[in-house]
Amino acid sequence: MSQDSVRVEKEALETEREPNPVLALLRTSVGRNAGLVVALLLICLVGAITAGSRFTDWDNAMTILRLAAVVGVVSIGMTFVIIGGGIDLSVGAIVALSSVWCTTVATQELAQDIHWLWMVAVALLVGSACGLINGLLIAYGNIVPFIMTLAMLASARGLAEIISDKKTQIVSVEGFDDFFNRDILGIDVQVWLFALVSVAGWILLNRTTFGRRTVAVGGNPEAARLAGINVKRQTVYLYVLIGFCCGIAALMLVAKTTTGSSTHGSLLELDTIAAVVIGGTLLTGGRGTIVGTVLGVLIFSSITNIFILNNRSFSEQSLFKGAIIVAAVLLQQRLASRNSTT
């Protein structure tokens, strides 16, 4: 037996060796992320060439990061949901609903002297509650995530319009604006928040039972269930998590624009799913990285920034982004199909 095993071992090692070292590197998550860094640098190079110092100066870097922050926070949540084998199309609508709900609380007459932390609590609660509804109906109602969150996309946006009466609600709560628009060490609080959520997400995914369960549930739900993991409960947690992230994003948007509006966060689902996919997370679940997602977000917002600096239209931007998403998925599939030849 032992001789046989040695033979098998040697053969296993041989078959693992990759004829093409670049492909082999891209297959590991570290290698993929290195590839994304290269892509990001190339994009920056394009930016520097086409827009010169307008692209390269510090203020513009901050603009890119601020642009990235809102999308980024939600993308971290999306990474978890997609690794867990789901998808959430309702993020934009949840952001809108959370924003108008918290600005409504702030603008009600009775609540004139309300503490700004109440706004924070309301936004986070509304976001999490929407996620909870998504999660419960997906896990226990057996509704396909795509359909459930599509329904939530419509309903949450609709409720946001009803609450706000389709009006943009301007708010100015002293402590709130101060907190969210402050600089710390020359860097915007919003950017710090994105960094904080990313680090927390990384720890949660890589160092906790929660992260391990997420990977198990997305990688092979049947095996996870038979190993005694409560797949349904984990699914609910994942949607609550992304709902919570939407709450944070809503607060960031309210502070940035000093308004709550039922149009906030439109097409956010596109940007976040795209960032996650570009970041190398498999849409089939079970595999993905936070670092990849952060890089995906930065790549996307840099491209947006370069288009704006070069006075290109939003339509051209969309066209280009669509192409990038397709390219990213094609590349991912090539890598994935070579990976599973058993």
Partner 1 sequence: MTDTPLLQMTGIVKQFPGVRALDGVDLDVRAGEVHCLLGQNGAGKSTLIKVLSGFHQPDEGTITWDGQDAAFSTPAKAIEHGVATIYQELDLVPHLDVTENVFLGHEVSRAGFSQRSRAREMARALLARLGHAEIPVTRVVGDLSPANQQIVSMARALSHDTRLLVLDEPSAVLDQQEVANLFRVIRSLTAEGVAVVYISHRLEEIRQIGDRITVLKDGRTVATGLAVADTPTAELIRLMTGRSIEYVFPPRPETPRDQGEPVLEVRDLSLAGVFTGVDLTVHAGEIVGLAGLVGAGRSEILETLYGARRASTGTVAVDGKRLRRGSVTSSVQAGVGLAPEERKSQGLLLDEAVYRNITMSSMARFARFGFLDRGQERKRAEELTTSLDVRPTGVTRAVRTLSGGNQQKVVLARWLLRDCRVLLLDEPTRGVDVGARSEIYQLVRSLADRGVAVVVVSSEIEEVLGLADRVLVVREGEVVHESASTDIDEAKVLDLVMEERVPA
Query: Which residues in this chain contact partner 1 in the complex, by CB under 8 A?
Result: 1-2, 4-6, 8-9, 11-13, 15-16, 207-210, 212-213, 215-216, 219-220, 222-230, 286-287, 339-342
Q: How far apart are CA 154 and CA 93, in angstroms?
A: 7
Tokens representing residue 227 in the block:
């190993």
Task: Report angle CA 103, 169, 126 to the nearest 5 degrees.
Answer: 30
Q: Is the CB of 66 or the CB of 338 nearer to partner 1?
A: 338
Output the smallest distance, CB 317 to partner 1, in A.
Answer: 35
Burial class of residue 28 in the structure, from the number of CB atoms within 10 Å of its CB (0-12 exposed, 13-18 middle, 19+ buried): exposed
Q: Is the CB of 9 or the CB of 178 nearer to partner 1?
A: 9
Q: Is the CB of 141 or the CB of 186 nearer to partner 1?
A: 141
Q: Is the CB of 213 or the CB of 321 nearer to partner 1?
A: 213
Output the smallest distance, CB 243 to partner 1, in A.
Answer: 20
Output the smallest distance, CB 333 to partner 1, in A.
Answer: 15
Closest CA to 173 of 122, 235, 241, 231: 122
Output the smallest distance, CB 17 to partner 1, in A.
Answer: 11
Contact call for residues 180 and 251 (beta carbons, < 8 A)? yes
Q: Is the CB of 227 or the CB of 327 nearer to partner 1?
A: 227
Output the smallest distance, CB 24 to partner 1, in A.
Answer: 13
| R_g (Cα) of the chain, nearest Å | 22
Taking the chain, what is the end-to-end CA distance rounded to the nearest angstrom? 23
Q: Is the CB of 224 or the CB of 254 nearer to partner 1?
A: 224
Output the smallest distance, CB 77 to partner 1, in A.
Answer: 18
- Phi then psi dihedrals of residue 229, to 5 deg: -80, 135
Tokens representing residue 120 in the block:
């924070």
Closest CA to 86 of 130, 131, 32: 131
Q: Is the CB of 179 or the CB of 210 nearer to partner 1?
A: 210
Tokens representing residue 21 in the block:
């070292």
Alpha-carbon separation of residue 105 from 120, 130, 153, 307, 313 (angstroms): 10, 18, 22, 37, 36
Residues 6+ apart with CB under 8 A from 241: 77, 80, 81, 131
Output the smallest distance, CB 213 to partner 1, in A.
Answer: 7
Closest CA to 309 of 46, 65, 70: 46
Contact call for residues 83 and 285 (beta carbons, < 8 A)? yes
Q: Is the CB of 162 or the CB of 226 nearer to partner 1?
A: 226
Output the smallest distance, CB 173 to partner 1, in A.
Answer: 34
Q: Give the CA dihedral 67, 73, 75, 79, nearest 10 degrees.
A: 150
Q: Is the CB of 47 or the CB of 221 nearer to partner 1?
A: 221
Output the smallest distance, CB 76 to partner 1, in A.
Answer: 17
